[in-house]
Amino acid sequence: MTILGISAFYHDAAAAIIQDGEVIAAAQEERFTRKKHDASFPMQSIRFCLEYAGCSLNDLDAIVFYEKPLLKFERLLETYYAFAPKGLKSFMMAMPVWLKEKLFLKKLIWDSLNEIEKVDKKKVKLLFPEHHLSHAASAFFPSAYEKAAILTIDGVGEWATASICMGEGNKITVLKELDFPHSLGLFYSAFTYYCGFKVNSGEYKLMGLAPYGNPGSERVNQFKTIIKSNLIDLKEDGSVFLPQAYYNYAVGLRMAEDTRWEALFGFPRRNAEAPIEQHHCDLALAAQEVLEEAVMNLAREAKRITNAEYLCMAGGVALNCVANGKLDTSKLFKELFIQPAAGDAGGALGAAYAAYYTYYNKDRKLNASFPDSLKGSFLGTMHTDTQILSTLRKYNANYTWFDDEGALLQKVAALIASGHVIGWHQGRMEFGPRALGARSILADARNADMQKKINLKIKYREGFRPFAPIVLAEEVSNYFEFQGISPYMLLVKPVKNTRQVPYPANFQASTLLDKLYFRRSDIPAVTHIDYSARIQTVHQETNPRLWKLLHCMKQQTGYPVMVNTSFNVRGEPIVNTPEDSYICFMRTDMDCLVIGNYILDKKEQAHWEEKTDWKNEIEPD
């Protein structure tokens, strides 16, 4: 049985295909269109999935859309009615789109699919599971657990903004739901907005900014009191109540009521690209700590009502790896499994799983692969030597080709150890927002200048943004206070005390820039300001080439740890094709490109003549 899952029309459109319960391929549309968070119907992702699975649309048993559009329309109408006459402008903007397109989404989907291939509607079913069921299915069914609690948290689906479910065998039972407008995801997005970052894109920036706040300080504590007294009421059962007088997302065009927030916090909303000041850092920390408290409440409630040993998580809030790390440390559950494409993109995969197990009632066989059935999330495109060579010839690139993998990896490790920044394009592209070692930028974690160099001269982004380490799974406990696995870069843990460099006197009184470049450990490029790191453990089973490269790095330097960040510049999706990688390499101060078995040295390339004003064409995220 072959099933295609689709997510689209909000953000992070994607497609995924499964055959007899096994995921074959999955990809986000942004990687093909080069429009970050592209919400359009995923034509190219669908074509890729079909081609990789070796089938046509008419070979499918079902096509599954990740949510119920009519139920979402019901929520929209009821919300506008409840808040009337407030929100008239937003209502007038939203209704034409719904009446012209989204209300007839079934027809739009069929019409779009028919552009790929004429589909026999009598043969291929079109199904619509609920949004949070798709999230829950995306986390539980590929997990290694026969039985587990499932926690989904995001902005909003149809009505639900969070759910607690029980997964057992091939069944998912919804036990509790939290409904719109009360939403942890929208709560966090409101702070993302107020701190000057882009909603549905910049939430990870808010998380990265939070450690620059002064923990336990009078202002952070004051901000937390203000938040919990005015902006969110946390209940012991994990539910939350958001007083809508302070928010504008339900029927407005902004996330928050700016004037009221300014009265609460004593400073106006930060404009994008304006300087970041200490009060922004302190507010980010306060919001992060409140979110963590809310997530823990939900997890405790999930434990109480399921008594499960294991927890699976999905939804956009499940990408908050700081909260995940603290939940893992709590040992409330024996193990966590967090879906690597936890946001709406992963809904495409979950929709396909939901149809296979829930609609068709297929038996579930636990996958024996390690550590789950997602194949390391390497589910996207890959390119042959012939395709790579074609691109290199197109651009008249100078390269060195290695026919011996060992020699290639020794050379790359030597380049990294000597301070070079490497564009790394290998194997199948990752599915989800994190670069996991297939479309990555790699560098030496020991280099104290690397964070500044990559942020400012390669990624063209804010200097405060931290970088994640990749580390051999066998050696993770030698560098971090962690003994488990984190293959998807979704847990933040402390760097070991023995590797930390103590704060200098009066450090907390320093400016953000002074804090930024303080050497914090013997792996400073991947140690955040609070001595934490967003860990990715690298396993021989899922990424053998990167695993071998880390061994070479250890052999040459003593350290099986490197910087791993996504292969892109700010505002651009992660690269997909060899051409994407070559262009990004030439536009930045990257030193070398390693694509397949080819190594390109920037110094040996012809002068790059830019034909477009690309920095202004790419919208900052």
Q: Which domains does the chain have, with CATH numbers?
A: 1-142+342-373 (3.30.420.40), 145-338 (3.30.420.40), 385-617 (3.90.870.20)
Please say if the pLDDT value at position 221 is more than 90. Answer: yes
Spatial distance between the Cα atoms of 209 and 529, rounded to a whole number of angstroms: 10
Higher pLDDT among residues 80 and 371, named by residue: 371
Spatial distance between the Cα atoms of 557 and 549, rounded to a whole number of angstroms: 12
User: What is the per-residue pLDDT for 481?
Assistant: 97
The pTM (predicted TM-score) of the whole model is 0.95
Distance of CA 332 to the CA centre of its chain: 24
Structure tokens at 86: 């407030």
- Please name the residue ranges forming H helices in 568-607: 578-587
Alpha-carbon distances, residue 40 vs 13, 57, 112, 242, 274 (angstroms): 6, 19, 11, 31, 31
- Which of 124-128, 270-274, 299-303, 494-498 is predicted least confidently? 270-274
User: What is the per-residue pLDDT for 81?
Assistant: 60
User: What is the per-residue pLDDT for 388?
Assistant: 97
Please say if the pLDDT value at position 451 is more than 70. Answer: yes
Mean of pLDDT values over 25-36: 97
Mean of pLDDT values over 219-240: 97
Mean of pLDDT values over 438-461: 91
Please say if the pLDDT value at position 101 is more than 70. Answer: no
Distance of CA 445 to the CA centre of its chain: 22
At a CB cut-off of 8 Å and minimum separation 6, what does 70 contact?
A: 103
User: What is the per-residue pLDDT for 87?
Assistant: 61
Spatial distance between the Cα atoms of 562 and 172, rounded to a whole number of angstroms: 39
Mean of pLDDT values over 169-188: 97
- Which of 36-50, 87-101, 245-259 is predicted least confidently? 87-101
Spatial distance between the Cα atoms of 570 and 582, rounded to a whole number of angstroms: 16
User: What is the per-residue pLDDT for 267?
Assistant: 97
Spatial distance between the Cα atoms of 379 and 52, rounded to a whole number of angstroms: 10
Specify the 3-state DSSP secondary structure of 480. Answer: strand
Cβ 482 vs Cβ 574: under 8 Å: no
Which band of pLDDT confidence, cut at 50, 70 and 90, is reported for residue 100?
low
The average confidence (pLDDT) of the chain is: 93
User: What is the per-residue pLDDT for 545?
Assistant: 98
User: What is the per-residue pLDDT for 95?
Assistant: 65
Structure tokens at 211: 């450690």
User: What is the per-residue pLDDT for 98?
Assistant: 61
Which band of pLDDT confidence, cut at 50, 70 and 90, is reported for residue 90?
low
User: What is the per-residue pLDDT for 611?
Assistant: 77
Q: Are strands 147-153 and 310-314 parallel, antiparallel or unpaired?
A: parallel
Mean of pLDDT values over 398-419: 97
User: What is the per-residue pLDDT for 89?
Assistant: 63
- Which of 73-77, 163-167, 200-204, 227-231 is predicted least confidently? 73-77
Amino acid (one-letter) located at 408 = L
Please say if the pLDDT value at position 335 is more than 80. Answer: yes
Please say if the pLDDT value at position 297 is more than 80. Answer: yes
Higher pLDDT among residues 460 and 431, named by residue: 431
Alpha-carbon distances, residue 105 vs 70, 71, 102, 394 (angstroms): 9, 12, 5, 41
Spatial distance between the Cα atoms of 71 and 137, rounded to a whole number of angstroms: 19
Higher pLDDT among residues 206 and 254, named by residue: 206
Mean of pLDDT values over 284-305: 98
Spatial distance between the Cα atoms of 330 and 324, rounded to a whole number of angstroms: 10
Cβ 291 vs Cβ 216: under 8 Å: no
- Closest by CA to 3, choosing from 65, 68, 63, 67, is 63
